[in-house]
Amino acid sequence: MNKNGFEPLILGFACNWCTYAGADLAGTSRIQYPPNIRVIRVMCSGRVDPTFILRAFSRGVDGVLIGGCHPGDCHYIEGNYKARRRMELLRRMLGDFGIEPERLRLEWVSASEGARFAEVVADFTKTIKELGPLKSDATIAVGQQH
Amino acid sequence: MAQKAKLALYWAASCGGCEIAVVRLYAKILDVAEFFDIVFWPCIMDFKYKDVEALPDKSIDLCLFNGAIRNSEQEYMAHLLREKSKVLVAFGACAHTGGIPGLGNVANRETIFQRVYDETPSTVNADGVRPQLSYQVPEGWLTLPEFYDTVRTLAQVVPVEYFVPGCPPVKEQVEAVIQAVVEGNLPAPGSVVGASDKTVCDDCTRIKEDKRIRSIYRPWEVIPDSTRCLLEQGIICAGPATRGGCGGPCPSVNMPCRGCYGPPPNVVDQGGKLLSAVASIIDTQDPAEFGRVADAIPDLLGTCYLFGLPSSLLFRVRQEREALPAKQAVEQSKAV
Amino acid sequence: MPDTRIGVFVCHCGRNIGGYVDVPQVVEYAKNLPDVAHAEHNLYTCSEEGISSIKRKIQENDLNRVLVASCTPRTHEPLFRSACQEAGLNKYLFEFVNIRDQCSWVHMNLPKEATEKAKALIRMGVAKARLLEPLEEIEIEVTPSCLVIGAGAAGMTAALNLANQGFDVHLVEKRAELGGLLRGLHKLFTGNQDAGEFIVPLINHVRDHEHITTHLSTKVKEVKGFIGNFDVTLDHGQKESAVSVGTIIVAVGADEFKPAGQYGYGETPGVLTQLELEERMKEGTLRAKNVVMINCVGARVPERPYCSRFCCVTAIKNAVLIKENDPEANVWILHRDLMAYGVEFEDYYRKAMQLGVRFVRYSLDSLPEVIMDGEVEGVRVRHQLMGKQVELPSDMVVLTTPLVPREENAEISKMLKVPLSSEGFFLEAHLKLRPVEFATDGIFICGSARWPVEVSEAVFQAYASAAKAAMPMRRGYVCPEAITSFVNEEFCGGCGICAVLCPYSAMLMEAKNGKRVAHSIEALCKGCGTCGAACPSGAIAMNHFTDKQILAQIDALAEA
């Protein structure tokens, strides 16, 4: 349930060769999507250390979306496979932490998939809106300022 | 005769192992007694809190504080000893990163009390009695410390000069730390002492060849080859993600490192790195196969944060706030 | 420790950003961020004026970090990095923030939110910029030879061009002869030049050239390496061989779509495609008197929405040839719009009409029908302009079909790590700014492999990709981006996890002072970061994408 106009804060990681290019294509095609996401560019989805995602959640980011190349198409051959494995294990552990695993999503978006990028962002934003904020008065705090 | 330096030791939420670690100095404890005046060590002798309260500020030269902070008494003592000590050392894994008591952060006061006072098989508690913060008896009021929802490390409560990791810190490192203090040879405040800057892999003498694994085993499931790296044999060993300097005693007896020396110097979240490393070396591209291998890890959170949950990025498990039971709320308002 | 002084340059990009994001407000916000010593906005930061301003302000304001917030680093990072370099700043002290392609252009109806997002992105960029370090690039030698995949018009032209410049070329062709689609053509429009006259000299030059090694009936099996140093395995059927090249040009062309199941194609010999028609014309076995051509078969339809660009002119060409050969013959072209652009094609179309070729427009919701009785008898079509059904007597139906991507494109794309477009053709780095190369350095694309083209376009593109391929080969070296991994040996415990993860074998485990530590080989490291993400000791730093920098970006994001 969208809790009274809650606007989530969403962090995105986009790999330079596929997802970031796809996101740019959405832009050149003027395909509109919700403005909640802020993307950090990395060279490969394999660069994404689970530490980054833990840091994001500990600071109150409501959802994290990682975009990489389709299996078999990774510019660095296998980085996306490693990303997939890490995110699978991380998602399990997030569940242990009482953080809905749906708050972490890994999607494959290629350089030619501008429309798909916009679609994925819109869908993920909707999912996070329905989940509600990660931090609220109703929960005992997760994460803290270090 | 010159005045001896003053030494204090205190135990918060801990097991007593760090006290034993100090006693394990064996004959060298006599050198400690020669250099220091022990002004406070409640485990060993009948010191009282008011003895500490009576001391001038910063009069304790060295305080070795072990244990995590999980109730109001421990928090009070952390603040008190901070006030009275020149050098406050978080001694042992519990004070450093939260230790085993830190696993309490998967729960909160209400769920813990429910378990302890209602659900445990041999408990009979039809009236749902709970510990009270204060309780009146004919002789007056009895008080108990407040049990917090969340366990914290020492440094999350008061500023700390040094950290000595380990569960407990190994004998050689305790000696080294005491020596460094005696010689006045300590690094910049905020440092970890009594440990190396590398990981346990550096201490471990097992042969490392190829880190790729196709299965994960619990330590009791297999008898590992005592010469080869345990992680390479599919047993999750936290050594690669754990600060070294302990000498690798656990791997040397066929037990995987469990991470008690805390994160390496450059690592922000020990559990996150261990998770990343394990996920990376499971050698399959097939998600279903990966899932099967990962299913062999029964408690991912516990495996990754066995000693460091309060010092991790997420710090504790996210839970709904429970309303306190009405009875306890009323009694609390009568607290002295 | 000198102060960090960051210069922030926010671009309006005309109205592309400025029309949606409140750029002046964003600049004011940037000015107040810690360590920002200067902030300004430009109409076009990439213009001469904008670049000069960056260089001037670096000097005047003693800036030691520069951030540009504008379009996308994928096209403009090199430009701004050069500007910094020219002003005396190491090029890696520059950070790019995308507030157009990923902000103003995608939130056009939400100016307030777009402005807030631009501020957040700049705050994140500044957080990273604060922690940027200068980096030095190394030089890697480039092998002065090129692998050209495909020996059609594009492939042969590119191969000859490079060979004439003195570079060695390995020209690989999966068929037993050179020529590609050109082999099947009869005449070339618009001058009706015999295709053979065009192609035979080309083939001869290629065969005779001392710098070209032709590999017929050969496929590319495996490609390893990177620009300057590709190791290629060729599959000749019975055996394999290995070649080392510095650059690769993809010129694999495309296939003519065979519309099985449509309009009777495959059911009777009287229904053929344009290429099959040309074959008949070449053989001299064309007997038809009433030819009806149907354009846009399998093109500009829901399952294949693109236009193949030159098939209309191909139909016109063949219609003209039929009429010139036999003025008594009837030729109709049924079309859904005619793509006869430019001066020459427009004239050609007029010529066809003058010769008596008749053009009938039909629409997608009322397709022509071929009337058959074993043989083709006629074509029924709803004449859109006349507004009624007409029946055209016919003894041959020619279907004008598009070029479609070759089936092996998927395999080649995986082999070379280059992307395909959503239609399945190869996707260039940028349609306008980098049209004949891939984003991957050292690999180029020309001809119909990229998008259906006619012969002259294939030749243009071949010249262009050959020119681009020649650049690194001529210079003799490349400087790969210095975004490589670095091992802090004081923290490395020698676990070896990095070494098993690296797909380029760039991480080696070494013995140093009796201790096992990892060592990163700079020339092999591509900077993907998978080792750094896994390294459990935190010993590996990924230059320019360090943990500290990324964590700072995340903290800045969350500082909402």
Within 10 A of C544 (CB to CB), how many other CB atoms are there?
Answer: 18
pLDDT in tens, B70-86: 999 999 999 999 999 99
Query: How close does chain B come to A20, measured CA to CA in Å?
Result: 23
Task: Please tell me the distance from the alpha carbon of residue B23 to that of residue B38, in angstroms, as a whole number.
Answer: 13
The DSSP output letter for B119 is: I
Within 10 A of C393 (CB to CB), how many other CB atoms are there?
Answer: 14
Query: How close does chain C come to A116, measured CA to CA in Å?
Result: 11
Query: Please, which pLDDT band fits residue B182 given cuts at 50, 70 and 90?
Result: confident
> Looking at the DSSP assignment, which residues form a beta bridge with residue C245?
C230
CB contacts of A40 in chain C (<8 Å) are 124, 550, 553-554, 557
pLDDT in tens, A84-134: 999 999 999 999 999 999 999 999 999 999 999 999 999 999 999 999 999
> Is the pLDDT score of A12 beyond 60?
yes
CB contacts of C495 in chain B (<8 Å) are 199, 201, 208, 211, 231, 239-240, 277
Dihedral pair phi/psi, residue C273, rounded to 5°: -90, 170
pLDDT in tens, C429-485: 888 888 999 988 899 999 999 999 999 999 999 999 999 999 999 999 999 999 999
Q: Is residue A5 part of a domain?
A: no
Dihedral pair phi/psi, residue A26, rounded to 5°: -60, -35
CB contacts of B273 in chain C (<8 Å) are 535-538
* Cis peptide, bond prior to residue B264, ω within 30 of zero: no
Q: Is residue A140 part of a domain?
A: no
Q: Is residue A74 part of a domain?
A: yes
Cα atoms found within 13 Å of the Cα of residue A37, Cβ hemisphere only: 34
| Mean pLDDT score of chain A | 93
Instruction: Say yes or no for a CB contact (<8 Å) between C497 and B201.
Output: no
Q: Is residue A142 part of a domain?
A: no
Q: What is the mean pLDDT of residues C95-119?
A: 98
Is ipTM > 0.95 here? yes
Query: How close does chain C come to A23, measured CA to CA in Å?
Result: 6
Please report the beta strands in chain B, taking only residues with DSSP state E, as ranges in sequence order. Answer: 5-11, 36-40, 60-66, 69-71, 85-91, 134-137, 140-143, 147-152, 162-164, 319-320
Query: Please, which pLDDT band fits residue B335 given cuts at 50, 70 and 90?
Result: very low
Instruction: Say yes or no for a CB contact (<8 Å) between B273 and A49.
Output: yes
Task: Please tell me the distance from the alpha carbon of residue B150 to that of residue B102, in angstroms, as a whole number.
Answer: 8
CB contacts of B264 in chain C (<8 Å) are 491, 493, 536-539
| Contact C106/A at CB under 8 A | yes
Q: What is the mean pLDDT of residues B2-8?
A: 88
Query: How close does chain B come to C34, measured CA to CA in Å?
Result: 24
| Contact C306/A at CB under 8 A | no
Task: Name the helix (H) or strand (E) containing B53.
Answer: helix B49-53
Please report the beta strands in C88-235, taking only residues with DSSP state E, as ranges in sequence order. Answer: 94-98, 140-141, 145-149, 168-172, 187-188, 193-194, 212-215, 219-226, 229-235
Instruction: Say yes or no for a CB contact (<8 Å) between B199 and C536.
Output: yes
Nearest to C100 by CA among C80, C81, C114: C114
Q: Nearest chain B Cα to C516, which residue?
A: B202
Radius of gyration of chain C (CA): 29
Instruction: Say yes or no for a CB contact (<8 Å) between B211 and C537.
Output: no
pLDDT in tens, B214-268: 999 999 999 999 999 999 999 999 999 999 999 999 999 999 999 999 999 999 9
Instruction: Say yes or no for a CB contact (<8 Å) between C495 and B201.
Output: yes
CB contacts of C489 in chain B (<8 Å) are none
CB contacts of B208 in chain C (<8 Å) are 494-496, 509, 516
Task: Please tell me the distance from the alpha carbon of residue C354 to that of residue C360, in angstroms, as a whole number.
Answer: 15
Q: Is residue A1 part of a domain?
A: no
| Mean pLDDT score of chain B | 93
pLDDT in tens, B21-67: 999 999 988 989 899 999 999 999 999 999 999 999 999 999 999 99
Q: What is the pLDDT of residue A36?
A: 98
SS3 content of chain A, % helix, strand, coil (to 5): 40, 15, 40
Answer whether C155's CB lies under 8 Å from C202's CB: no
Answer whether A47's CB lies under 8 Å from C528's CB: yes
Task: Please tell me the distance from the alpha carbon of residue C67 to that of residue C549, in angstroms, as a whole number.
Answer: 14
Point out the residue among B268, B280, B314 whose CB comes nearest to the CB of A86. B280
CB contacts of A110 in chain C (<8 Å) are 419-420
- Chain C: partners with 3+ C-beta pairs within 8 Å: A, B
SS3 content of chain B, % helix, strand, coil (to 5): 35, 20, 45
> Is the pLDDT score of C55 beyond 60?
yes
> Is the pLDDT score of B334 beyond 50?
no
| Contact A77/B at CB under 8 A | no
Nearest to C497 by CA among C486, C511, C484, C507: C507
> Is the pLDDT score of C560 beyond 70?
no
Instruction: Say yes or no for a CB contact (<8 Å) between A44 and C528.
Output: yes
Q: What is the DSSP string of C313-350?
A: HHHHHHHHHHHHH-TT-EEEEEESS----HHHHHHHHH
Nearest to C30 by CA among C129, C145, C156: C129
Q: What is the pLDDT of residue B322?
A: 62
Point out the residue among A51, A71, A85 whose CB comes nearest to the CB of B272. A51
Q: What is the pLDDT of residue C74?
A: 94
CB contacts of A139 in chain B (<8 Å) are 318-321
CB contacts of C533 in chain A (<8 Å) are 46-50, 82, 86
Q: Nearest chain A Cα to C423, which residue?
A: A112
Q: What is the mean pLDDT of residues B190-199?
A: 95
For residue A35, give its domain range.
Answer: 10-132
> Is the pLDDT score of B336 beyond 50?
no
* Cis peptide, bond prior to residue C190, ω within 30 of zero: yes
C48 burial (CB, 10 Å; 0-12 / 13-18 / 19+) is exposed
Query: Please, which pLDDT band fits residue C394 given cuts at 50, 70 and 90?
Result: very high
Q: What is the pLDDT of residue C1?
A: 55
Q: What is the pLDDT of residue C280?
A: 93
> Is the pLDDT score of B323 beyond 70?
no
Q: What is the pLDDT of residue B31?
A: 87
Q: Is residue A64 part of a domain?
A: yes
CA C11 to the chain's CA centroid? 27
Query: How close does chain A come to C198, measured CA to CA in Å?
Result: 36
User: Which of A32, A49, A52 is the best substitution to test chain C (most C C-beta atoms within 10 A)?
Assistant: A49
Q: How far is CA C172 from CA C240, C252, C303, C462, C463, in A?
A: 13, 10, 32, 15, 18
Structure-derived torsion over alpha carbons of residues B225, B231, B236, B238, reported in degrees to the nearest 10: 120
| Contact B273/C at CB under 8 A | yes
Residue type, position C99, single letter: I
Tell whether pTM > 0.80: yes
| Total structural domains within chain A | 1
Q: How far is CA A63 from CA A7, A126, B255, C24, C80, in A?
A: 11, 11, 38, 30, 32
> Is the pLDDT score of B97 beyond 80?
yes
CA C476 to the chain's CA centroid? 24
Tally of residues, chain C: 560
CB contacts of C114 in chain A (<8 Å) are 35
User: String of b and e for C79-89 (b: at least 16 CB within 10 Å)?
Assistant: ebbebbeebeb
| Contact C532/A at CB under 8 A | yes
Answer whether C263's CB lies under 8 Å from C294's CB: yes
Dihedral pair phi/psi, residue C449, rounded to 5°: -65, -25
Query: How close does chain A come to B322, measured CA to CA in Å?
Result: 9
- Percent of chain B whose pLDDT exceeds 90: 86
Task: Please tell me the distance from the alpha carbon of residue C530 to that of residue A47, in angstroms, as a whole number.
Answer: 5
Query: How close does chain C come to A38, measured CA to CA in Å?
Result: 7
Query: How close does chain B come to A92, measured CA to CA in Å?
Result: 8
> Is the pLDDT score of C50 beyond 90?
yes
CB contacts of C100 in chain A (<8 Å) are 27
User: Which of B202, B205, B229 is the best substitution to test chain C (most C C-beta atoms within 10 A)?
Assistant: B202
CATH number at A24 reads: 3.40.50.960
| Contact A89/B at CB under 8 A | yes
Q: What is the mean pLDDT of residues B95-101?
A: 97
CB contacts of A23 in chain C (<8 Å) are 101-102
Answer whether B278's CB lies under 8 Å from B264's CB: no
Point out the residue among A57, A78, A85 whose CB comes nearest to the CB of B279. A85
Instruction: Say yes or no for a CB contact (<8 Å) between B318 and A99.
Output: yes
Instruction: Say yes or no for a CB contact (<8 Å) between A11 and C560.
Output: no
> Is the pLDDT score of C15 beyond 60?
yes
Q: What is the pLDDT of residue C440?
A: 86
User: Which of B213, B237, B266 is the best substitution to test chain C (most C C-beta atoms within 10 A)?
Assistant: B266
Query: How close does chain A come to B151, measured CA to CA in Å?
Result: 12
Task: Tell me which CATH homologous superfamily contains domain B5-101+150-183.
Answer: NADH:ubiquinone oxidoreductase-like, 20kDa subunit (3.40.50.700)
pLDDT in tens, C483-519: 999 999 999 999 999 999 998 889 999 999 889 999 9
| Contact C73/A at CB under 8 A | yes
Query: Please, which pLDDT band fits residue C7 given cuts at 50, 70 and 90?
Result: very high
Query: How close does chain C come to A52, measured CA to CA in Å?
Result: 6
In chain B, where does the domain assigned CATH 3.40.50.700 lie?
5-101+150-183
Task: Please tell me the distance from the alpha carbon of residue C397 to that of residue C294, in angstroms, as a whole number.
Answer: 7
- Percent of chain C whose pLDDT exceeds 90: 86
Q: Is residue A3 part of a domain?
A: no
Q: Is residue A146 part of a domain?
A: no
pLDDT in tens, B276-318: 999 999 999 999 999 999 999 999 999 999 999 999 999 999 9
Instruction: Say yes or no for a CB contact (<8 Å) between C493 and B239.
Output: yes
Q: What is the mean pLDDT of residues C51-65?
A: 97
Query: How close does chain A come to B313, measured CA to CA in Å?
Result: 6
- Chain A: partners with 3+ C-beta pairs within 8 Å: B, C
Query: Please, which pLDDT band fits residue C417 given cuts at 50, 70 and 90?
Result: confident
| Contact B268/C at CB under 8 A | yes
Q: What is the pLDDT of residue C308?
A: 94
Structure-derived torsion over alpha carbons of residues A56, A82, A128, B292, reported in degrees to the nearest 10: -120
pLDDT in tens, C193-232: 899 888 999 999 999 999 999 999 999 999 988 899 999 9
Nearest to B88 by CA among B107, B60, B129: B60
Answer whether C18's CB lies under 8 Å from C35's CB: no
| DSSP helix/strand/coil, B65 | strand
Task: Please tell me the distance from the alpha carbon of residue C98 to that of residue C84, in angstroms, as a whole number.
Answer: 18
Lowest mean pLDDT segment, chosen from A58-62, B265-269, B323-327, C113-117: B323-327
